[in-house]
Amino acid sequence: MTLSDHIGRRIKLHDLHVLMAVVQAGTMGKAAERLNITQPAISRSIAELERLLGVRLLDRHRRGVEPTEFGRALVDGGAAAFDDLQRAVKNIEFLADPAGGSVRIGCNPFLTATFVSAVIDRLSRRYPRIIVDIATADADILRRDLRQRDVDFLIARKFGPVADDQLVFETLYDDAFVVVAGANSPWVRRRKMALVDLVNEPWTLPRPETALGTVFLEAFRSSGLSYPRTVVFAGQADQLRVNLVATGRFLTMFSTSILRFPSERAKLRVLPVRLPLPPAPVGIVTLANRTLSPVARLVIEHARAVAKPLAKHRA
């Protein structure tokens, strides 16, 4: 038996869980509160791990603690170990009851309200007892949650190449961008127009420095224009943009798939404006070398089925 095997068999999951909680909390006191144990018990667990491994795992400072390079390596390995255990439990639950189980999906709010809701509707009709937990946030937070294994996978748009070799992207469908007005907007009656005709109208858009905003900024720049006079910067609040545009007073840009979902189609109209933008793929983002649970794989199968007609009818 190697030394690493010997140590691996002696490390207690409880002590490893305590270390992970301390690193996440930043102080032993906060970790003790979260775990509902005493601070001396926290110290004993950390001391036992450091004695067993023969290295310092935490550096103490006035504001609390932070992991050493050894501590970070152990925390990263611990996250993978606990993820494997959690997945094993999910596999057992699925084997005991294939119609049950749970999955946690990360997604931005607007895809959640459109594409993902259609996926869940399809899934729940066949598997009504599967529990789906949706985590909504911006792209950076979602990718962090995936790396930390707080979600099983993401459903997201891809802007440019995936720079992180930890992440794997599977395209479900390509989404083009269009200029959108409310159904009662006076612009709807125009058959011909260009982006330059609309630049001085009231717009609601993300800020130009955001991931989606940079895409829209490129559309205006490619047309020789500056970012338009934006009355409302909506950020991730896509539903707010829908509601404002539906009044007929605002313009915005959306992906074409929004118009394939009945909840939004009646409120909006696509204007005949040609945008110099490539399509944005929407797909599944998974963590490389991480085996998904049977329930997660089942949800992905339903996502592929819902996406199939969207992939066939590109704008």
Q: What is the pLDDT of residues 115-139, one digit of tens each?
A: 899 999 999 999 988 889 999 888 8
% the chain with pLDDT above 70:
89
Round to whole Å and give the CA distance between 169 and 71.
30
Q: What local confidence, expressed as pLDDT, does residue 154 receive? A: 96
Between 241 and 272, the higher pLDDT residue: 272
Q: What local confidence, expressed as pLDDT, does residue 96 receive? A: 65
Helix locations, the chain, DSSP H: 3-10, 13-25, 28-35, 39-53, 69-96, 109-111, 117-126, 139-147, 195-198, 211-222, 238-246, 262-265, 294-312
pTM across the whole model: 0.65
- Average pLDDT for 28-40: 89
Q: What is the pLDDT of residues 265-282, one digit of tens each?
A: 677 889 999 988 888 899
**For all residues of the chain together, what is the average pLDDT?**
85
Which domains are assigned to the chain? Answer: 3-81 (1.10.10.10), 100-173+281-312 (3.40.190.10), 177-278 (3.40.190.10)
Q: What local confidence, expressed as pLDDT, does residue 85 receive? A: 80
